[in-house]
Amino acid sequence: MNTQVNNGNGTKVRQKGEKHYVMIYSRYERFWHWSQAMLIFVLFYTGLGLHGLHNLLNFQLAVTIHTYAALVLIVLWIFTTFWNFTTGQWRQYLFKEGVMKVIRFYAYGILKGEPHPYKKGLQRKQNALQSLAYMSFMLLIGPALWASGMIYLIYDLWSGYAWSSQGLTLIAFVHTAAAYLMGTFVIIHVYMTTTGKTPTHYIKTMITGYDNVELTEAEKAYIEETHAISMKD
Amino acid sequence: MHKPRILAIKSSTLACLCAFLLGISNQIPASTDHETGTAPADSNMNFRIVEDTQPSIRDDGESTADHTKFEILQGPFESGPEVTKACLSCHTEAGRHFMQSIHWTWEYDHPDTGQKLGKKTLINTFCTNAKGNEGMCAQCHAGYGWKDENFDFTNQDNIDCLVCHDRTGAYYKTPNSTGNKACSVMFEGKQPIPWEKVAQNVGKPGRENCGACHFYGGGGDGVKHGDLDSSLKAPSRELDVHMDADGLNFACTTCHVTRQHLWAGSRYNVMAHDTEGLGLPGERRDVATCESCHSESPHSNTELTGIKLNGHVDKIACQTCHIPTIARGGVATKTEWDWRTAGKTKNGEGFKEKNYTQANGAHRATYKSIKGSFEYGENLVPHYDWFDGQMVYTTIETRFDPAKGPVEINGFNGSHDDGRSRIWPFKRMHTVQPYDKGNNTMVYMHLWGNDDDAYWGNYDFGRAIKVGMQKNSIPYSGEYDFVETYSFWPITHMVAPSENALSCNECHSREGRLNDLEGFYMPGRDSFRWLDILGYLALGGALIGVLLHGLLRKLFSKKNQQRDAS
Ligand code: HEM
C-alpha cells in the first residue's frame, strides 16, 4: 500500500507501510481518557446546576459532588501529566504542520469522500488539528478551570481580605467562562469522534485501544522482536 | 475574660419592657368592646394573661438557702417595698448592683455613638413613647411606683425584686397610675398578692419571670419581636431547641449570663460577631453569643458540608440559618400598624375588631380605636441584612426628611465589605405614626392618664401630641401629620433543631432569601448576564454546527455513493 504521508517534519516521503491492528492507546491512556470524560461531564452538569441554570440538583448536593469530582480530576491530571512526561507521550501534543489541510478536509474534503490527509501512525496518533485542540485544552481551558476552581474552592481561606469580594467575582467569572469553553470543546470533540470510517470507529478504538495503523518496516520489526506493543495480526 | 465593654451589654432585655408597657393598652376595656359585650374585662386580651402559673424551671435543689425558714420573711407584708426591705437586709449589695441595670435606669448611653438610648426617652413604632406615659408603661419597670418625673431612682426600697424572683406565679404588677376609666377596668378584680408566700418562695428567674414583660413587648403577646412570645414559656423542641421544656429547658439567664445584676446580650449594642468563641475553663464569658458555647467553627470539620458551613461563620450570623422562621409557636407577631385609622367610635365609644385568628386559636385585634389598624404574621421569613451590631436610633431630637421614605426608627450599620458585619435576620415592623410636620421630628404622645388630654380617652391626636411634647419640654410646631416608619428587631430566639436549619438552596438560588442584598457575588444566586449569553451562544452554536455538519456529511455520502456507483 503506497501512500503519501507527512512524516512530521514537513517533507513528503514515499513510504511503504503495512497496516496492522496494534494497541495505540495503552491501558492507562484509555483509563484516564474515560475517567476524565466522566468527571468533566459530572463537573459540567453539577457546575451548571450550582450556577443556577438548572434545578435538578439541590445546591448542597451539587457543591458536594462538584467538589469531590474536582478533587479526583486534579489527582487524575497530576498522574497524567506525570505519565505524559515519563512515557514521552507529551510529544503527541506538539504542534504539527498541515493544520490548514486538516481544516480544509473537515470543511470540504470529508463531504466529497476524500481520504483523511493525515495518516495515523504509532508516533502520530493525533492529526495536526487534534494536537492543536488538545494542546489548547490541556494548556488553556483545563488549567483555567482547575486553577480558578482551586482558588474558588479555598475561598474561605482568603475571604477575609479586603479584595475578596472582587476576587470572588473574578474567580467565578473565569471559572464560568472556562466551563462554557469546556462544554463547547466537548460537543465538538464528541462529534469529531463520529467522523471515522464508521461513526463509532474512533470510539471503539478508544475503548479497545486497537486501531489499524500503518507500520513502517522498522516499527513492525521492533514490535515483533520485543512485543513491547501488542499487535493483533 | 472579663470584658467591661461586654458588661455594658447587660441591657438588652430591658428594652422590650417598654414596648410591653405601652402594650398594656392593648387590652383595652371590655366595655368598649362591642363584640364581647358583657364578658369579663380581660377575657379578650392577649396581654399578660397567664393561665399556667407553674414555674418553667424546676427547683434544682442547688440553693444553699431555704427562704421559707428566714424569720424576716415571715411577714406580715402589706406592700412590695416592705418585701424589698427584707430582701436587702440580707442581700446588702443587691440594691447597689441592680441600680446600675438598665432594668432600673431605663437609660443607655451608647459608648460608640454617644446617643442617649433606653426606654426612658426612646420613640418606637408601637405605642410610640413610654416617656410621659410611665403610669402605664412603667408597670414593666422593675420598680414600685414610677408614674411621673417625681419617681425616686435612688431609693432602694423602690426596687421590685419579686417581679423577677417570684417562683409562685402569684405575683403580678398593675399600672402605677389610673388611666382613663375605660382602661383601668381591666386591672380590677384581681386576687390580692399573698406577700408572705411570694416572699418566701423566691429563686432564680424562670422564663415566665422575664417573659412577663419581654414576651409582651409592643403591647401584646409576641407583638414586637416575633421571636419572643408566650409560647416560649414551655416550648417544644421544634420551637426552641434550647428552651425545649422536655429537653434542655434553658432559663433566659442560661445564655444571658449575669454579673452583678447586669445581663449579657444588649440590643442597643449588639455583638454581631463574636470572634473569641469559647472561653477556657474558669474564664467567664459575659456574652450571650452562640459562639460563646458553640465556638467559631460549630459544624463538623470532617465532612465537606461542615467545612463549607464553618466557612460561612465569618459572614453569616448563626441565627440566619438556624432560625428558619419567626412567630412559630402559635402566637402571631405584628407586622403592620397604621395609627391613622385610630379614633373611630361607635355610639361614642371605642371598639375593637378581632379578625385575625392565630395558630393557637386566640383572636387578635385587627382594629382598636385607641391604636389603629394592624396586620399580623406567623411563621414569618425574617428580613435579612448586613449588620455590624451598631443600631442608629431616630430619637425625639433627630430631624429627618419625611420625603425620603420610611424613617428608620432604629436603623443599623453594616455592609458586605467592612470585614465586621454578618448577615442577620430581623423582624421588620412597618408603621404609620404621627410626627411633627413643622419640625420634622417624631413626637411624644400623651396616651395614658385620667385627664381630658390623654389620647386613650379623647381620641384627639392634636391634643395628645401637644400635651405630650409640652409635658416633656420638647419643641412642637403645633402641626402633626403621619409618617411611615420601620423598626428592626434582631432575631435570636426560636432556634430550631439543626435538622430544621435552612438548606443551602434557601439562599443559593435565583429566587432565594438574600435576593435583596446587593454588591457581592453569591454562587447560585448571581451570574454574569453577558457571559451566560455568550456561553449559550457558544454551546448552542457548537451543537447546531455539528448537527449541520453531520447532516451535510450524510447528504454528501449518499451523493458520493451514487456517483461511485454510476
Ligand atoms: C478541577 C477542577 C475544578 C475545581 C477545583 C472546581 C471547583 C469549583 C468550585 C469550588 C465552584 C464553586 C462552588 C461553590 O459555590 O461552592 C465551582 C463552580 C462551578 N464549576 Fe467548577 N471546578 C472544577 C472543574 C470544573 C469543570 C471541569 C467544569 C465544567 C466543565 C466546572 C464548572 C463549574 C461551573 C459552571 C460552576 C458555577 C460557577 C458559578 O456559578 O459561580 N468546574 N467549581
Could you give all domains of chain A from N- to C-terminal order, each with its CATH number? 23-226 (1.20.950)
What does pTM read for this prediction? 0.86
Distance from CA of B302 to the nearest CA of A (A): 13
Which residue of B523, B539, B556 is in closest CB contact with A112? Answer: B556
Cell of B497: 433543631
Contacts of B313 (CB under 8 A, 6+ apart): B296, B297, B298
Does B419 reach chain A within 8 Å, measured CB to CB? yes
Contact (Cβ atoms closer than 8 angstroms) between residue A36 and residue A76: yes
Whose C-alpha lies nearest to ligand 1, atom 8?
Answer: A149
Distance, in Å, from the CA atom of B436 to the CA atom of B399, rounded to the nearest integer, reads 10
Model pLDDT, residue A128: 64
Q: What is the DSSP letter of B166?
A: B
Sign of CA dihedral A28, A33, A37, A40: positive
Determine the atom of ligand 1 nearest the C-alpha atom of A153: 10
**Helix boundaries (H) for chain A:** 27-50, 59-87, 99-104, 110-112, 128-136, 142-153, 155-158, 164-192, 201-208, 217-226
Cell of B210: 422575664
Model pLDDT, residue A12: 42
Q: Is B111 exposed, middle or buried (0-12, 13-18, 19+ CB in 10 A)?
A: exposed
Distance, in Å, from the CA atom of B13 to the CA atom of B207, rounded to the nearest integer, reads 12
Q: What is the DSSP letter of B126?
A: S
Does B551 reach chain A within 8 Å, measured CB to CB? no
Convert B77-95 into a string of H (helix), E (strand) and C (coil): CCCHHHHHHHHHHHCCCHH
Cβ distance of B527 and A51 shorter than 8 Å? yes
Model pLDDT, residue A77: 87
Query: Is B545 part of a structural domain of the chain?
Result: no
Cβ distance of A187 and B534 shorter than 8 Å? no
Query: Is B563 part of a structural domain of the chain?
Result: no
A178 touches ligand 1 (CB under 6 Å): no
Distance from CA of A70 to the nearest CA of B (A): 13
Distance, in Å, from the CA atom of A118 to the CA atom of A129, rounded to the nearest integer, reads 10
B252-267 burial string, b = 16+ CB within 10 Å, else e?
bbebbbbeebbbbbbb
Q: What is the dihedral of CA B89, B91, B96, B101, to 10 degrees?
A: -130
Whose C-alpha lies nearest to ligand 1, atom 40?
Answer: A51
Cell of A114: 476524500
Distance from CA of A217 to the nearest CA of B (A): 33
Site from A66, A106, A111, A153 to mutate, B interface, most B CB atoms within 10 angstroms = A111
Site from A54, A59, A145 to mutate, B interface, most B CB atoms within 10 angstroms = A59
Query: Is B559 part of a structural domain of the chain?
Result: no
A175 touches ligand 1 (CB under 6 Å): yes
Kind plus residue range of the DSSP H or E element containing A162? none
A186 touches ligand 1 (CB under 6 Å): no
Distance, in Å, from the CA atom of B275 to the CA atom of A223, rounded to the nearest integer, reads 68
Distance, in Å, from the CA atom of B333 to the CA atom of B330, rounded to the nearest integer, reads 10
Distance from CA of A91 to the nearest CA of B (A): 28
Distance from CA of B298 to the nearest CA of A (A): 15
Nearest to B118 by CA among B23, B19, B24: B19
Model pLDDT, residue A119: 66
For chain B positions 281-320, those within 8 Å of chain A (CB to CB) are: 304-305, 307-308, 310-311, 314-315
Chain B residues near residue A172 by CB distance under 8 angstroms: 521, 523, 526, 528
Cell of B260: 452583678
Long-range contacts of B461-470 (CB under 8 A, 24+ apart): B461/B342, B461/B343, B461/B434, B465/B434, B465/B436, B468/B129, B468/B132, B468/B443, B468/B444, B469/B436, B469/B443, B469/B444
Distance of CA A153 from the midpoint of ligand 1 (Å):
8
Model pLDDT, residue B481: 96
pLDDT higher than 60, residue A45: yes
The count of other CB atoms within 10 Å of the CB of residue B10 is: 26
Whose C-alpha lies nearest to ligand 1, atom 43?
Answer: A149
CA-based radius of gyration for chain A = 21
Query: Is B119 part of a structural domain of the chain?
Result: yes
Determine the atom of ligand 1 nearest the C-alpha atom of A172: 41
Whose C-alpha lies nearest to ligand 1, atom 12?
Answer: A152
Question: pLDDT of A103-129, one tens digit each?
Answer: 777 777 777 777 777 666 666 666 667
Angle at B198 between CA B195 and CA B201, to 5 degrees: 150
- Which residue is listed with cell 451590631? B389
Whose C-alpha lies nearest to ligand 1, atom 30?
Answer: A44
A16 touches ligand 1 (CB under 6 Å): no
Angle at B240 between CA B227 and CA B11, to 5 degrees: 50
pLDDT higher than 90, residue A177: yes
Model pLDDT, residue B284: 61
Whose C-alpha lies nearest to ligand 1, atom 22?
Answer: A149
Chain A residues near residue B504 by CB distance under 8 angstroms: 58-60, 63
Contacts of B242 (CB under 8 A, 6+ apart): B248, B250, B254, B255, B495
pLDDT higher than 90, residue A86: no
* Banded model confidence at residue A13, pLDDT cuts 50, 70, 90: very low
A142 touches ligand 1 (CB under 6 Å): no
Query: Is B321 part of a structural domain of the chain?
Result: yes
Lowest mean pLDDT among A109-118, A161-170, A208-217: A109-118
CA-based radius of gyration for chain B = 28
Distance, in Å, from the CA atom of B354 to the CA atom of B345, rounded to the nearest integer, reads 15
A74 touches ligand 1 (CB under 6 Å): yes
B529-562 burial string, b = 16+ CB within 10 Å, else e?
eebeeebeebbeebeeebeebeeebeebeeeeee
Residue in A closest to B525 by C-alpha: A52
Cβ distance of B504 and A58 shorter than 8 Å? yes
Checking DSSP bridges between strand B422-436 and strand B383-387, what pairing results, if any?
antiparallel
Distance from CA of B497 to the nearest CA of A (A): 19
Quote the number of domains for chain B: 1
Ligand 1 pocket: which of A152, A159, A170, A176 to mutate (most atoms within 8 A of CB):
A152
Cβ distance of A63 and B315 shorter than 8 Å? no
Kind plus residue range of the DSSP H or E element containing A18? strand A18-23
Top-confidence residue, B87 or A131: B87
Sign of CA dihedral B10, B15, B21, B24: negative
Model pLDDT, residue B475: 94
Distance of CA B3 from the midpoint of ligand 1 (Å):
44
A42 touches ligand 1 (CB under 6 Å): no
A70 touches ligand 1 (CB under 6 Å): yes
Cell of A3: 501512500
Cell of A112: 466529497
Distance, in Å, from the CA atom of B182 to the CA atom of B179, rounded to the nearest integer, reads 8
Model pLDDT, residue A198: 82
B51-86 burial string, b = 16+ CB within 10 Å, else e?
eeeebbbeeeeeeeeebeeeeebeeebeebbebbbb
pLDDT higher than 60, residue A65: yes
Distance, in Å, from the CA atom of A195 to the CA atom of A115, rounded to the nearest integer, reads 12
Cell of B306: 461542615
- Which residue is listed with cell 421588620? B428
Query: Is B443 part of a structural domain of the chain?
Result: yes
Distance of CA A193 from the midpoint of ligand 1 (Å):
26
Site from A41, A55, A60 to mutate, B interface, most B CB atoms within 10 angstroms = A60
Distance, in Å, from the CA atom of B227 to the CA atom of B243, rounded to the nearest integer, reads 12
Which residue of B417, B419, B521 is in closest CB contact with A172? Answer: B521
Query: Is B460 part of a structural domain of the chain?
Result: yes
Site from A58, A187, A198 to mutate, B interface, most B CB atoms within 10 angstroms = A187
* Banded model confidence at residue A19, pLDDT cuts 50, 70, 90: confident
Q: Which domain holds residue B63?
A: 5-506
Cell of A145: 478551570
Question: pLDDT of B191-246, one tens digit each?
Answer: 889 999 999 999 999 999 999 999 999 989 999 999 999 999 999 999 999 999 99
Show the low-confidence residues of chain B (pLDDT under 50). 1-46
Q: Does the predicted interface ipTM exceed a cut of 0.95?
A: no
Query: Is B253 part of a structural domain of the chain?
Result: yes
Does B418 reach chain A within 8 Å, measured CB to CB? no
A150 touches ligand 1 (CB under 6 Å): yes
Q: What is the DSSP string of B127-158?
A: S-B-TT-HHHHGGGSSBS---STT--TT-GGG
Cβ distance of B315 and A168 shorter than 8 Å? no
B192 residue type, one letter: P
Which residue of B308, B509, B532 is in closest CB contact with A63? Answer: B308
Distance, in Å, from the CA atom of B72 to the CA atom of B117, rounded to the nearest integer, reads 39
